[in-house]
Amino acid sequence: MRKWFTALLVFPLTLWSSDVAVETKLKKRQPHWLPNTLETYSNGVVKKIVFYDSDPDLHLDVPVKIVVYSPQGKMSYEGDLAFTKEQSQLHGASVWYGKRGKVIKLAFFSQGKIHGTVRTFYSNDQLKELLVYDMGIPHGRYAHYNEEGDLVAEGWYSHGKREGVFTTHFPDGTIASEIPYENGVPHGLARVRYPNGNEKWVKHFFRGVLHRDENLPAYTEFYPDYSYKKKEFFRFGRAHGAHESFHPNGQKKSLYTYVFGKLEGNQKVWNDAGDLIAQGVYRNGRPIGFHKQKYADGKTANIARYDKNGNLKEPIVEFDESGSKTAEYFLRNDKLHGTYREWFPNDQIKIDYTFVSGKQDGVQKEYNERGELILEFHMKNGKRHGLYQEKLANLNFDQGDYHGIQKRWYPNGQLQSEENYENGEKHGLCRAWYSNGNLAVEGHFVQGKEDGVHKLWGEEGTFIAESSYLNGEYHGRSSEWTDGSLKKKIHYQNGQIHGDEELFY
């Protein structure tokens, strides 16, 4: 009897692949190799086969090739194997095939690890991407091409990390971006350009974070005409100094000042006409005093008043462009806290919520433009809890899940549905009605699954069907009626048809 070595078979098929110096082509299948089917699809088609060859020194058959097929029987992968260190590993060429049989990926392995150049291809056989590996680790050139063969991006890896300048290119071949890397992180002057060649932004990195001398901005952004859009200063990754932005017409848009990552001093915002539309003072990153923002026409957009410690002294108030109040709320640690209200343009209350540390808690109310309450519900720690009432529904929740009787109505006042829930699942009698008041559906549930007889009626009250269930599956008789006459009868057992289907004429 021949021995097949399978105990230590290893197939890392999800790995990327590469060139190997030992073998650069797939082994040709030999007539004496023995195939062994490892997996099949549910339709009977073979999914995975391993071929074995006799090893005279070991006196057993060892795996030499693995082949994988699609559910349609087409080859999707082929990889060579080698027996080393008491186990069989991917070693040599590996090829992945697309739906039409074309090569979509080519790789090489050495003792189970990617080693060499991994290549992927478009459906037109054009090279898509390549990356060089050294024993499983990216080490060497990376390149990406479009379907026309034009270089889109390129760079280098060293021991698994990006090293040197990574560039991207526009379709005409000109450079779109240049990002320098050192030890895997951006380091140095990085540039991104517009198609016209002008710089879009320039960033200066130091070991992966924005940083530059205090007299020079670490981040600069430009409009296509090369006029300034933003200038921002950073020290070792933290905003430090002036952060300016500009309108397309050259007018200053905003000026924020930071000290080691925190806003400090007077912060200002202007419109494109040069009018001051917002300002406020910060100390150690917290707002203090009176803060105000305006619309372009000078009307107030919002106001806020803070004490010397940065706490709101009164609610923040927001206005629309006509001057009507639209919202009023408190913040604590930058989270909604306390009463939150919104108004319609006609000054009618729209929303009356309550928050605790950013989460809705307690009674929440909503109104229509006539001032009528249309929704009232309870929240607990950000989840629905308790009664949920709206004009067309009466719902109950427990910790965010439906619980108890849930009722909904049609706009004409007719009851639409009445369902029983327990811990978020239907449990008990559930019924639904048509808008004319006739019963549509009736049935019992047990922990979310149909149980017992379920019945269905037409809108005019005619009986249509009934089915028996057990634990969510058909079980027992299922019947259908047409114009009051029985037309079909089927018996089920545990979800499967049991017996003959009866038809009536």
**Domains, the chain, with CATH or none:** 322-378 (no CATH), 392-505 (3.90.930)
Inter-CA distances, 428 with 425, 442, 449, 471, 496, Å = 10, 11, 10, 13, 25
Assess whether pLDDT exceeds 90 at residue 9: no
Over residues 410-445, the pLDDT tens digits come to 877 788 999 999 988 999 999 999 999 999 999 999
- Judge whether residue 11 has pLDDT over 60: no
Q: Is 398 helix (H, G, I), strand (E, B) or coil?
A: strand
Q: Which amino acid is at 63?
A: P
The 10s digit of each residue's pLDDT in 247-271 is: 999 999 999 999 999 999 999 999 9
Which residues, in sequence order, are bridge partners of residue 245?
230, 254
pLDDT of residue 55: 79
Least confident of 1-5, 110-114, 171-175, 342-346: 1-5
Over residues 342-395, the pLDDT tens digits come to 999 999 999 999 999 999 999 999 998 878 788 889 999 999 888 887 766 677
pLDDT at 269: 96
Classify 462 as helix, strand or coil.
Answer: coil
φ, ψ at 315 (rounded to 5°)? -60, 150
Beta-carbon contacts of residue 172 (< 8 Å; ≥ 6 apart): none
**The pLDDT of residue 19:** 36
Pairing between strand 164-169 and 175-182? antiparallel
